[in-house]
């Protein structure tokens, strides 16, 4: 087999040794890109921050991988880990909220949809919040609101920049108006952070919608986004229903927001840490000349 053939095989899922390949996918040795179908050696994929080297598709990553990708080794210090959601409204739809919470907590090992902490990026201290879309669609209830507010307050007190990786369907309906009010609470904390001349950078990832877009996602001093992620206020289906028309191509994509002036830059995930560190350095107070 020539080297070219080997590359060909590596890229095409329909290659002759398909069965063994499928076994290797099952073993996790190889990963098929869900966008272009190319086969990627899983180790390489992980080294590339789970971005397809072929088509730049960003495969979703979650809390632990984000921390590994963004924070210098052994510098991560989680805060407020003991906050847990309750069921303040006694809410039940087809299933009680309590049961939903317990199931998703068992499945993900997370207490709620955001993890917060402080750590270093290229040696620069920062406060970091990471939303996790697996936990009820990254929805924002009391715990998400409280943890982000405490993170921002901690950053204000300790003169730290804040970075929030956004991924959310919006406010969590199961906590009713308590969820809506978290939008205001977090925005109030950001106002105090801003008054202290500290830097806040939200990173918008797939998807960032609803009440998160209408609050902290859009309040960055600088707003970054991952390529092709969906960013919007209203859901696409809602807009289609109210307007009874097809939406334009690329509507509510990161690229669409960039071209309309609502995002500063689109940054591929492998470059995210370096970009954030660069921005923090550029906004750090300079030592004055003696």
Partner 1 sequence: MNTPVNRKPILLDFEKPLAELEERISQIQELADENDVDVSEQIHQLEARAVQLRQEIFHSLSPSQRIQVARHPRRPSTMDYIQAISDEWLELHGDRRGFDDPALIGGVARLNGRPVVMLGHQKGRDTKDNVARNFGMASPGGYRKAMRLMEHAHQFRMPILTFIDTPGAWAGVDAEKFGQGEAIAYNLRAMFSLDVPIIATVIGEGGSGGALGIGVGDRLLMFEHSVYTVASPEACASILWKDAGKASQAAEALKITAMDLKKLEILDEILPEPVGGAHADPVKTATILKEGLLRNLSDLDPLTPQELRRHRYEKFRRIGVFVESDV
Using the rule CB under 8 A, is 105 a contact of partner 1?
A: no
- 201 with 279: CB under 8 angstroms? yes
Give which of partner 1, Zn ion, none residue 46 binds (C-beta under 5 to 8 Å, depending on kind).
none
Q: Which of 17, 68, 81, 271 is in the footprint of partner 1 by CB under 8 A?
A: 81
Burial of 185 per CB tally in 10 Å (0-12, 13-18, 19+): middle
Which residue in the block uniquely carries the two structure tokens 């730290």? 160
Number of residues lying near partner 1 (CB under 8 A): 64
Give which of partner 1, Zn ion, none residue 33 binds (C-beta under 5 to 8 Å, depending on kind).
Zn ion
Helix segments in 158-221, DSSP class H: 176-195, 210-213
How far from chain centre, in Å, is Cα 23? 31
DSSP track, 213-232 = HTTGGG--SS-EE-TT-BEE
- 131 with 73: CB under 8 angstroms? no
Give which of partner 1, Zn ion, none residue 41 binds (C-beta under 5 to 8 Å, depending on kind).
none
Q: What is the total residue count of the chain?
A: 290
Give which of partner 1, Zn ion, none residue 162 binds (C-beta under 5 to 8 Å, depending on kind).
none
- Determine the Cα–Cα distance for residues 152 and 194; give it in Å rounded to an integer: 10
Among the listed ranges 14-22, 62-70, 156-164, 237-245, the one in contact with partner 1 (CB under 8 A) is 237-245
Using the rule CB under 8 A, is 238 a contact of partner 1?
A: yes
Please state whether the peptide bond connecting residue 6 to the residue before it is cis, i.e. omega within 30 degrees of 0.
no
Q: Which of 178, 222, 258, 266 is in the footprint of partner 1 by CB under 8 A?
A: 178
β-pairing, 39-41 vs 30-32, is antiparallel
**Residue with smaller CB distance to Zn ion, 13 or 176:** 13
**Residue with smaller CB distance to partner 1, 31 or 215:** 215
Distance set, CA 181 to CA 174, 202, 208, 247 (Å):
13, 20, 18, 31
Residues 33-72 that bind Zn ion (CB under 5 A): 33, 35-36, 52, 54-55, 57
Q: How far is the CB of 181 from partner 1 (least distance, A)?
A: 4
β-pairing, 162-168 vs 124-131, is parallel
Using the rule CB under 8 A, is 188 a contact of partner 1?
A: yes
Binding mask 14-53 for partner 1 (x = CB under 8 A): ----------------------------------------
- Determine the Cα–Cα distance for residues 229 and 203; give it in Å rounded to an integer: 11
**Residue with smaller CB distance to partner 1, 41 or 91:** 91
**Residue with smaller CB distance to Zn ion, 57 or 273:** 57
Using the rule CB under 8 A, is 244 a contact of partner 1?
A: no
Which residues of the chain form contacts with partner 1 (CB under 8 A)? 81-86, 88-89, 91-94, 142-143, 145-146, 149, 171, 173-185, 187-192, 194-195, 210-211, 213-219, 231-235, 238-239, 242-243, 247-248, 251-252, 260-262
């Amino acid at each position: 087999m020539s080297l070219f053939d080997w590359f060909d095989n590596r890229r095409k899922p329909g290659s002759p040794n398909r069965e063994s390949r499928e076994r290797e996918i099952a073993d996790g040795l190889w990963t098929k890109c869900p966008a272009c179908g190319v086969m990627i050696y899983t180790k390489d994929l992980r080294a590339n921050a789970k971005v397809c080297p072929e088509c730049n598709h960003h495969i979703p990553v979650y809390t632990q991988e984000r921390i590994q990708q963004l924070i210098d080794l052994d510098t991560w210090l989680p805060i407020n880990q003991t906050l847990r959601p309750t069921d303040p409204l006694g809410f039940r739809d087809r299933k009680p909220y309590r049961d939903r919470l317990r199931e998703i907590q068992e499945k993900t090992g997370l207490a709620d949809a955001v993890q917060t902490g402080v750590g270093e990026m290229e040696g620069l201290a920062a406060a970091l919040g990471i939303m996790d879309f697996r936990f009820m669609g990254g929805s924002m209830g009391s715990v998400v609101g409280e943890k982000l507010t405490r993170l921002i307050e901690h950053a204000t007190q300790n003169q730290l920049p804040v970075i929030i990786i956004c991924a959310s369907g919006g406010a969590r309906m199961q906590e009713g108006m308590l969820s809506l009010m978290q939008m205001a609470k977090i925005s109030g904390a950001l106002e105090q952070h801003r008054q202290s001349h500290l830097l806040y950078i939200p990173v918008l990832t797939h998807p960032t919608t609803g009440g998160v877009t209408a609050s902290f996602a859009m309040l960055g001093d600088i707003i970054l986004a991952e390529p092709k992620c969906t960013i919007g206020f209203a859901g696409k289906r809602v807009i289609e229903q109210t307007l009874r028309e097809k939406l334009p191509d690329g509507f509510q994509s990161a690229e669409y927001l960039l071209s309309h002036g609502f995002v500063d830059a689109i940054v591929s995930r492998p470059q995210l840490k370096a970009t954030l560190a660069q921005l923090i350095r550029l906004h750090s107070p300079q030592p004055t000349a003696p």
